[in-house]
Amino acid sequence: MPDIPSTTNDMDQLDDGGRQLRDAMVRRLIESDAVRDPRVIAAFRAVPRHLATPDVEVAKTYNAEFAAVTKTDATGVDISSVSAPRVQAMQIEQAGIEPGMTVLEIGSGGPNAAYLAEMVGDAGRVVTMDIDSEVTDRATAFLAATGYRNVRVLTADAEDGAAGDGPFDRIVVTVQAADIPPAWVRQLKDGGRLVVPLRMRGMTRTVAFVRDGHRLVSDGFELCGFVPMQGAGQNRVQLAVLHDEEGEQIALRLDGHPEPDTKALAAALFTPRATAWSGVTLGGTESNEHLDLWLTTALDNLPLMAAKPGARKRGLVTSASPLGVPTLVDDGSFAYRTVRATEAEDRYELGAIGHGPHAQQLAERLASEIRTWDREHRGDRARIEVHPAATPDEQLPVGRRIERRHTRVTITWP
């Protein structure tokens, strides 16, 4: 169990600097438009989150973009963390939590449960659960030390939810999920909201769903990154490694995509580039999250390419996003989304770079879909629905379908 102050006086003494850091953190969250609800703002001012990670520098824990990794598995994959304040605030705003509600948090840690407890107030109740006893022990210690009594901590696999504590007005999931277990839908009140970082064809968005009978219908989503689900719901992406030199690794993240000809693609990586520019531009602060979701809706074989910064420095690729870059694959050729600066200040043109025998064709195809998005869907938000796995085709919306063990997920556009 972590070394957390056990008396109010000790906590107050350690929290003197924390109050100032919390105020500064909240100002940054407001300035970046990450938080707008006055009640969420008040919650983030109230919780001394640094006490949950005593091994981390206090100031760092109040960096709006800093996620404190608390555990990795034997392969080095992060499996537990205290999410960044910006992401936690974003999810809590998506949830629309009101005083007196009963809320289930899936994926524990401590500070986020405390924020939820602030939101529901004394008349409400929070249940936070995690499969890992080390994580729940840490959460229990933090919540006890900080005085949050309306939070129940459970150590269990969340695949079956927490039936004895439901039904829930809200469910907030703080780990990446590839599927929605039936128990989560059953234990959510009709009209209730489920906020979940849902992975769809490799792309993760924290989606705010509203329960409508047996289905879930999206009411907004945001770009995000989370540690993967463990237990019965574990469903990790597969990696197809194209290049594996130290600091220069390049791999495709497969999530239901066809198994690629890795050897041919690895060879294609070292062939001359083919480039196609779309004429479509983005502002420097404008997100490409809706574009990328359109691309994965429109194109069949579009895994994400993850590359280390060393690969970009060497010139093997032009993009090295930690979340991965949409990459169109066809046999031994591929093309990935890229950008270049324009003459206009802080504006960038979208395009594609291809490698392999069909490099130019694939780059042009990707650029064409970027233009389609700009012409027909820019400013639109996709609608994401989750239906039970047994739902017949004729009862599903027309659009991209993602088949999972428990559900059929659809992505449609206006």
Domain containing 283 equals 238-377
Task: Look at residues 172, 207, 233 and tell me which one is the last residue of a structural domain.
Answer: 233
The domain tally of the chain equals 2
Spans of the chain below 70 pLDDT: 1-17, 75-80
Q: How far is CA 56 from the centre of its chain?
A: 23
Do residue 91 and residue 221 come from a single domain?
yes
- 245 assigned to some structural domain: yes
Task: Look at residues 233, 254, 280 and tell me which one is the last residue of a structural domain.
Answer: 233
Say what the pLDDT of residue 79 is: 60
pLDDT in tens, 208-251: 999 999 999 999 999 888 888 888 888 889 999 999 999 999 99
Do residue 44 and residue 181 come from a single domain?
yes
Say what the pLDDT of residue 74 is: 72
Q: What is the CA radius of gyration of the chain?
A: 22
Say what the pLDDT of residue 319 is: 85
Query: Is residue 133 annotated as a catalytic residue, yes or no?
Result: no
Task: Look at residues 233, 267, 295 and tell me which one is the last residue of a structural domain.
Answer: 233
Do residue 214 and residue 251 come from a single domain?
no
Cβ–Cβ under 8 Å, residues 87 and 107:
no
Say what the pLDDT of residue 302 is: 98
Say what the pLDDT of residue 81 is: 74
Q: Which residues contact 345 (CB under 8 A, 6 or more apart)?
A: none
Do residue 229 and residue 244 come from a single domain?
no
Do residue 52 and residue 152 come from a single domain?
yes
pLDDT in tens, 306-351: 999 999 999 999 988 878 999 999 999 999 999 999 999 999 999 9
| Alpha-carbon gap, residue 158 to 220, rounded angstroms | 24
Burial class (CB in 10 A: 0-12, 13-18, 19+), 122: exposed
Do residue 302 and residue 328 come from a single domain?
yes
Do residue 70 and residue 175 come from a single domain?
yes
CA distances from 114 to 40, 338, 414 (A): 12, 40, 38
Say what the pLDDT of residue 320 is: 80
Do residue 134 and residue 200 come from a single domain?
yes
- Active-site residue identified among 80, 81, 83, 278: 83
| Alpha-carbon gap, residue 61 to 53, rounded angstroms | 8
Closest CA to 269 of 246, 247, 250, 253: 250
Say what the pLDDT of residue 68 is: 84
